[in-house]
């Protein structure tokens, strides 16, 4: 009797993401560039706690921020985009596609840092959506990954909000800023993406917001309606 094997799939390597701007309704993603450093420094003012679970920051000076931005902007993996909310016109955060595996059709969305005034906004949700859609719909990646410090409750809530499924924990996975880190892994795979995508589109629709700007339905509720 033959041993079990995985199902056959399209094994064509997926394209690498291109360093291009991506425009949405509430935010524009711009390939990270040194010209963004000054606005990012302003966005980070008084937000030292926002760097707690990241491998970089807080930055001691505008020059330190600029050096980091220039270094990150020169890399192709991770490939980082600055986020410019339409409502303010000012770059207020960044996020990246990383651990890019074209042969496995797997890619991670990570390295997310949003300044305080951008957190919990439509622009923040759309920024995540735009990169997920680029990876899954435009480039054809089958496995979308989100991973975070196991102590980072906010990041874990965000992963679940977007529809990522918990996969497990890598214990003693990394050392970050001199501290031990366990890492929790999440994913959206295969035919799970269309449901997540459609819920995100429904959430971002202007009809989903009341006159005070509050969302009328959450992402989990909208995914439930689509199921």
Which is it for the CA torsion 57, 121, 19, 196, positive or negative?
A: positive
Query: Measured between alpha carbons, how far is 211 from 205 in angstroms, rounded to an integer?
Result: 14
Looking at CATH, the fold of the domain delimited by 22-226 is given as Aminopeptidase (3.40.630)
Query: pLDDT class for 165, splitting at 50, 70, 90?
Result: very high
pLDDT for the residue 40: 98
Paired tokens of 218? 């959450």
The CA distance from 126 to 87, in Å, is: 13
CB of 187 closer than 8 Å to CB of 165: yes
Structure confidence at residue 123 (pLDDT): 98
Candidates 30, 17, 185, 184; CA nearest to 100 is 17
CA 220 to chain centre: 18
Q: How confident is the model at residue 187 (pLDDT cuts 50, 70, 90)?
A: very high
User: What share of the chain in percent tops pLDDT 70?
Assistant: 100
Instruction: Give the mean pLDDT of 28-33.
Output: 98
DSSP string, 7-46: PP---PPPPPPP---EE-SSEEEEE--GGGHHHHHHHTTT
- So what's the pLDDT on residue 108? 98
Structure confidence by residue, pLDDT tens digits, 45-76: 999 999 999 999 999 999 999 999 999 999 99
- Least Cα distance to 111 among 126, 100, 96, 123 occurs for 96
Q: Contact 158/200 with Cβ under 8 angstroms?
A: no
For strands 106-114 and 143-149, give the pairing: parallel
**pLDDT tens across 83-93, in order?**
999 999 999 99
């Amino acid at each position: 009797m033959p041993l079990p094997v995985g199902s056959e799939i399209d094994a064509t390597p997926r394209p690498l993401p291109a360093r291009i701007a991506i425009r949405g309704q509430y935010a524009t993603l711009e390939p990270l560039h040194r010209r963004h450093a000054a606005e990012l420094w302003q966005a980070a003012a008084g937000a030292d706690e926002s760097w707690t679970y990241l491998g970089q920051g807080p930055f001691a000076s505008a020059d330190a921020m600029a050096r980091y931005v220039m270094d990150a902007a020169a890399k192709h993996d991770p490939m980082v985009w600055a986020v410019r909310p339409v409502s303010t016109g000012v770059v207020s955060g960044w996020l990246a596609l990383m651990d890019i595996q074209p042969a496995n059709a797997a890619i991670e969305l990570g390295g997310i840092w949003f300044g305080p005034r951008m957190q919990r906004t439509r622009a923040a949700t759309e920024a995540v959506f735009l990169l997920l859609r680029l990876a899954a719909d435009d480039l054809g990646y089958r496995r979308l990954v989100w991973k975070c410090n196991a102590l980072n409750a906010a990041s874990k809530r965000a992963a679940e909000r977007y529809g990522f499924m918990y996969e497990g924990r890598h214990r003693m996975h990394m050392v970050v800023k001199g501290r031990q880190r366990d890492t929790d892994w999440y994913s959206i795979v295969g035919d799970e993406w269309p449901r997540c995508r459609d819920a995100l589109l429904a959430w971002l629709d202007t009809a989903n917001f009341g006159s005070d700007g509050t969302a009328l339905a959450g992402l989990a509720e909208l995914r439930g309606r689509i199921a």
